[in-house]
Amino acid sequence: MNFLSRLFSRKPPEPAPVYRVPEGHLVYAVGDIHGRFDLLERLVGMIEADAAARRAVGQIEHCSLIFLGDYVDRGFQSKQVLDYLQAFAPDWAEVTCLIGNHEAMMLEFIDDPVGSEGWLHFGGVATLASYGTKVEESESAQTDLLATASAFDDKFPRAHRDFIRSMPASHQIGDYFFVHAGVRPGVALRAQDPFDLMSIRQEFTESRHDFGVRVVHGHTGVQNPLLLPGRIAVDTIAYATGRLTAAALCGDSVEFIIT
């Protein structure tokens, strides 16, 4: 077979999949907040204005606002973030708060401070401060941890604990699957391990696996939001950069709103 024959005998590339949310449905997905209540307030205001503008021209009938987890740690306003989200019930959107690995680590520290000491080194000290708690000091490191966890538990509202425990690990709307961290390749969505949904990294971000949906996630920080064929990454490291990001999904379009 000569060169021209080989050239014209090649199969055309497969068309890129098109991902959609239901007609008339507008979805916002907000990345990792990490104790930046100031940015959360600002971004919600920007989202509300964007939704109002779209509704004014008859573009949407229903709006969903999804928070992708990691509300606490690193920034110094974790308590304010949870206070706000727990009470947040706008008349212009249906709100879903997913659990992130930092919320899970925080509860684990209260229940098992010695086995979960690592939380303090991943931003937990900032969360303690937001609840008016400091790391206790004594001659025994183990005693320090037990005393710190006990003091934190005394100041940590039961309503916050219940709120976190009620959070789902995933949510799906149309062709979009929302999680904190990602999904494990080769495992059906309904069979995913919640630990993976909250914590997976390279096995997901470096995979070219077709999940049958486009996954919208945070957890793995990026300088700018990423729009890729199979996933959208919106953790723009808000606690350090001041840039909290939301993906806006309408029909088959994707836009970003960034503080």
Which pLDDT tens digits describe the chain residue by residue (259 residues)? 566 566 555 666 566 788 999 999 999 999 999 999 999 999 999 999 999 999 999 878 999 999 999 999 999 999 999 999 999 999 999 999 999 999 999 999 999 999 999 999 999 999 999 999 988 776 556 669 999 999 999 999 999 999 999 999 999 999 999 999 999 999 999 999 999 999 999 999 999 999 999 999 999 999 999 999 999 999 999 999 999 999 999 999 999 999 9
pLDDT tens, residue by residue, 229-242: 999 999 999 999 99
Do residues 122 and 73 lie in contact, with contact meaning Cβ atoms separated by under 8 Å?
yes
Q: Does any domain span residue 9?
A: no
- Rounded Cα distance between 244 and 259, Å, is 5
Domain of residue 251, CATH code: 3.60.21.10
Q: Does any domain span residue 107?
A: yes
How many domains is the chain built from?
A: 1
Q: Does any domain span residue 4?
A: no
Do residues 95 and 55 lie in contact, with contact meaning Cβ atoms separated by under 8 Å?
no
Q: Does any domain span residue 10?
A: no
How many residues in total does the chain contain? 259
Q: Does any domain span residue 54?
A: yes
**Given strand 94-97, what is the order of strands in its sheet?**
94-97, 62-67, 25-30, 245-250, 253-258
Q: What is the 3-state secondary structure (H, E, C) of 201-233?
A: CHHHHCCCCCCCCEEEECCCCCCCCEECCCEEE
Q: Does any domain span residue 11?
A: no
Domain extent at residue 181: 19-258
